[in-house]
Structure 1
Amino acid sequence: MDDDKNGGEPPHSLEAEKAALRAMLSSGDAIADIVEVLHDTDFYRSAHGLIYTTILDLYARDQAHDEVAVTAELSKKELLEQAGGRSYVLGLANGRAGRSTTWLKQAERVQALAVLRRTKEAAVHIENLAAGGTADDADAIANTAQAEIFAATARRRHGIPPAYSIGDTMEGALDEIEAIGSRKGELAGITTGFTDLDSLTGGLYPGQLIVVAARPAMGKSTLATDFLRTASIKNNIPSALFTLESRRTDVTLRVLAAEARVAVHHMRSGTMTDEDWTRLARRMPDVAAAPLYIQDDAYATFTDLRAHCRRLRAQQDVQMIAVDALHLLSYGTRPFTSRYEEISEISRCLKLLAMELEVPIVAVSTLNRGPEQRPDKRPMVSDLRDSGALEDNADIVILLHREDAYEKDSPRAGEADLIVAKHRFGPTATITVAFQGHYARFVDMAQT
């Protein structure tokens, strides 16, 4: 059937799929247009998806991509039968390709029906989850439902975005320069809370991916939380922490310890003094009122994480996000040949998400054992675990190093180096701050 409803079958139109492929077989312009609308998974008939990817492969190699060339390529890869056979592929070329408005209309129809199919599948899964759930499961089911709906509709596009000439963008660039100059020394981005780091970077900008990396137990999660504390508690800027490493209660205790200057081990051992309680009570109202959101539920896939981020951006106007930690995150929707490849894709998508939401995203990552093999133990950007693409996609890479983590009697005990090893729009440098581990925080040296 070729009607959208197809009786009891999922929504699809084989005629629209054939029309889109027919246009691609005969016109490079059609390929350039249709690739902006369709993905191979949008085709209902798997054979059409296979033909589609073969056309794109030939086109990318600047080779002929007509029905004869596609048939030969499929045969060479022993995929011709899966694509419907020689006569089927050759038969797709019968008829006229039509005008660009026609092939785009057919491609958009294929895409729209794919969205309907995915939405229907997601709805059935959500209904099954809800039917078997309990009141205790409601939040988890709601999060899953939203993630699945986002995933089902993620490829839905509203036309191809235009390209702009540099002349068209000049006015906006000049406005930004003037706006920064009019602030008279104020930061253009979101302050990190560290004077020298802000001077170097200008703060954290919308669309940036900032990687904070270190060996275990160096305080990388604490540093990321410090950025969020400064944004939300000090400056009332909505921010969010996505953590797979800690419970939200643990995060809250560390935030309270940092803000009230009450030792974490006093909180956990039940040995808080009256003075501790007084300091805690003094800071609790400001901490409680801060627009800092903590997500510690199961968001172990990037698809879930992206859905949660979009929701918080839309509902709470979140303007900075931290993800702790990348090594515990999986992509979730397709298999990868290696962890290297998977982390590369996650880092790429985090950068795209930062640009889409127009917020800085701070990603916490673990370094490999490289620093421990060096006499001075200092980390290098090449120590980033699992993927060199993490460095490529990051705008800023901050490597955290503490000498006293390796040598307890170090003359630099209580100091930490923030090694800005990559800075896409400025210089690199090493910034020394104070580490107050008992308060779960880093501070400027001047505050010690």
Structure 2
Amino acid sequence: MLMSTEAVETALTKIASPAEFQRSGHQAIFEAIRHLYDHGIPVDQVSVADRLEATDGLERIGGKDYLIDVGMAVPTPAHAAHYAEIVSRTALLRQLIDAGTAIVELGFDAPDDASEAIEQAERLLFDVTGRRISGAFQPLLPLLEEGFLRLEELAERQEHVTGVATGFHKLDSLLSGFQKGNLIIIGARPSVGKTALALNMAVNAALLGNPVAIFSLEMSSDELVQRVICSEGRINLQHLRTGHLKDTDWTSINSALSRLSKCDIQVDDTPATTILEIRTKARRLLKDRPGGMIIVDYLQLMQPTTRRVENRQAEVAEISRGLKILAKELEVPIVCLSQLSRGVESRGGRPRLSDLRESGAIEQDADVVIFIHRDVYGRSEDDDGGEDRKYPPLGEAELIVAKNRNGPTDTVHVAYIPENTKFVDLARDPR
């Protein structure tokens, strides 16, 4: 860096801060070089020495002689990128050692709340990975070539679904499936069918060979299993819960279990989980399972990673942003269920983006927002059936795609069988 401006530019793209150097003298030299470069001043041994002298740092590093020795230690600036990567990698390993030492101390301190200690440990590791420098610029030409190859592949396959299929044909046609790196929000008021729809999508995707991870913060794994069997076997949920089953029900259950045994679905029913916990578990789970999908039920039950958040809106914003970042990092779609505010019921009619509860950040972070709109209380029977009716007919539901970052929005009409907690495609389109 003391020998070439090009070397300075290369190093600054790979070394995030002076702290990545272990010796305090090298930290001071790097800070001086960065200051000179930021102010458009040529970087060489003379200008760096002047800057260090102006900040009373020259003598602390060993004077001008030490600067000369540092410059002479590098045979050529041509390998600046390689040397900078060594500095960055070594710094990351030191940070990992520091985090490991702190985690060991946490264990020896014997805290009363072990879960709080685990959360602190996860936060320390997350901070280490968070300090890594983001990727450098990529030239446009190879990106164009890669994009063209992708277009050729899509043209050859002639498929409408390029992501994870939900099993709802009109919805898949509209969205081309759930795309990797996307955050999909499914919103509705309580008892409208958020969990039912998410489980239907999970099973449909898994039957097509996609691994699915479900984080259920509200229902236990036993309750989820009951719902999945009920939905796939078309068994009355109340009969399943009470054990009042007919011989034909047992036949349907066995058939459903045979199909479900082929599904790679993993369930975690830990309550009040955090983004850090989901990130750790999901990375471990998906390590040997390329592709797939993550479902979180539901957003408002998650806890923030930090306890220093000012209010609930800020907490939800942190969680929402964390889910979007996680989707991009793992390169999978994350489907997160969300409650809607009571304004939907007081206003009547169809939900809208402003009804997302507790934070406008959910709307901002989501790539796709889907609302479930159906009649829960028999109100559709009082509608005149005209174009302005507030609710779809009983037995039907609307999946309102209110936001689609990369495509059109529309409403998909589906059938809903409440006793089976089952959403299915309508045989006809009511429009």
TM-score, normalised with respect to structure 2: 0.76
Determine if the alignment matches structure 1 residue 345 to structure 2 residue 326. no
1:322-354: CA deviation from partner (whole Å, max 9, x where unpaired): 111110112223511122222222222211211
Relative to structure 1, the CA distance from residue 18 to residue 380 in structure 2 (aligned partners, 3 Å threshold; closer, same or farther) is farther
Corresponding residue for 1:216? 190
Q: Closer, same or farther in 2 for the Cα pair 1:170/1:107, shift >3 Å? A: closer
What is the alpha-carbon distance in structure 2 between the residues aligned to residue 145 and residue 117 of structure 1? 14
Change (3 A) 1:19 1:407: farther
Q: 1:314 to 1:185 in 2, by over 3 A?
A: closer
Partner residue, 1:190: 164
Equivalents in 2 of 1:104, 1:394: separation in Å?
Answer: 35
Shift of 1:396: 0.5
Q: CA deviation at 1:147?
A: 4.8
The C-alpha deviation readout for 1:294-342, integer Å capped at 9, x for no partner, is 1112461111111011111104446111111110112223511122222
Runs of 5+ unmatched residues, structure 2:
1-18, 40-50, 72-76, 384-392
Change (3 A) 1:175 1:275: same
SS at match of 1:289: coil
- SS of the residue corresponding to residue 287 of structure 2 reads helix
- In structure 1, the residue matched to 2:366 is 394
How many pairs does the alignment contain? Answer: 374
Q: Could you tell me how far apart the structure 1 residues matched to 2:148 and 2:21 are?
A: 50
Determine the structure 2 residue equivalent to 1:420: 401
Equivalent of 1:114, from 95, 105, 120? 95
Q: What corresponds to 2:390 in structure 1?
A: none
Deviation at 1:183, TM superposition (A): 1.6
Please name the residue that 1:165 is paired with: 139
1:267 aligns with 2:240: yes
1: distance between equivalents of 2:37 and 2:187?
44
Report what 1:302 is aligned to.
275
Q: Is the 8 A contact 1:147 1:308 kept in 2?
A: no
Q: 3-state DSSP class of the match of 1:431?
A: strand
Distance 1:21 1:370 in 2: 57
1:251 matched to which residue of 2?
224
189-198 vs 22-31, greater mean Cα deviation: 22-31
Go from structure 1 to structure 2 and tell me whether the alpha carbon gap of 1:217 and 1:404 turns closer, same or farther (over 3 Å shift).
closer
**After superposition, what is the alpha-carbon deviation per residue over 1:87-124, rounded to whole angstroms, capped at 9, x for unaligned?**
xx965686589899688866665543222111222244
CA distance in 2, matches of 1:379, 1:92: 62
Give the Cα separation in 2 of the matches to 1:362 and 1:239: 11
Amino acid aligned to 2:34: S
- Structure 1's 281 and 339: CA in aligned 2 closer, same or farther, altered over 3 A? same
* Bigger mean CA deviation after superposition, 194-203 or 281-290: 281-290
- Name the counterpart of 1:7: none
Inter-partner Cα distance in structure 2 for 1:397 and 1:19: 50
Provide the C-alpha distance between the structure 1 equivalents of 2:178 and 2:279, rounded to a whole number of angstroms: 20
Q: Which residue of 2 aligns with 1:226?
A: 200
Shift of the 132–329 alpha-carbon distance from structure 1 to 2, 3 Å rule, reads closer
Structure with greater Cα Rg: 2
Specify the alignment match of 1:434 in structure 2.
415
The gaps in structure 1 that reach 5 residues or longer are 1-11, 33-66, 68-88
Judged with a 3 Å threshold, the aligned counterparts in structure 2 of structure 1 residues 344 and 145 are, in CA distance, closer, same or farther, namely closer
Aligned to 1:355, the other structure's residue is in SS state helix
Deviation at 1:185, TM superposition (A): 3.4
447 and 363 in structure 1: CA distance in 2 versus 1, 3 angstrom threshold: same
Within 1, Cα distance between the matches of 2:220 and 2:185? 22
Question: How far apart are residue 30 of structure 1 and its match?
Answer: 7.4
The residue type equivalent to 2:144 in the other structure is: M
- In the alignment, is the contact (CA less than 8 A) between 1:115 and 1:156 conserved in 2? no
Please give the residue correspondences for 1:46-125 in structure 2 after superposition, counting only pairs within 5 Å. 91=56, 109-125=90-106
- The equivalent of 1:3 in structure 2 is none
Counterpart selection for 1:280 from 253, 259, 271 = 253
1:177-226 Cα distance to aligned partner (Å, 9 max, x none): 11112122342111111111111111111111100011111111111111
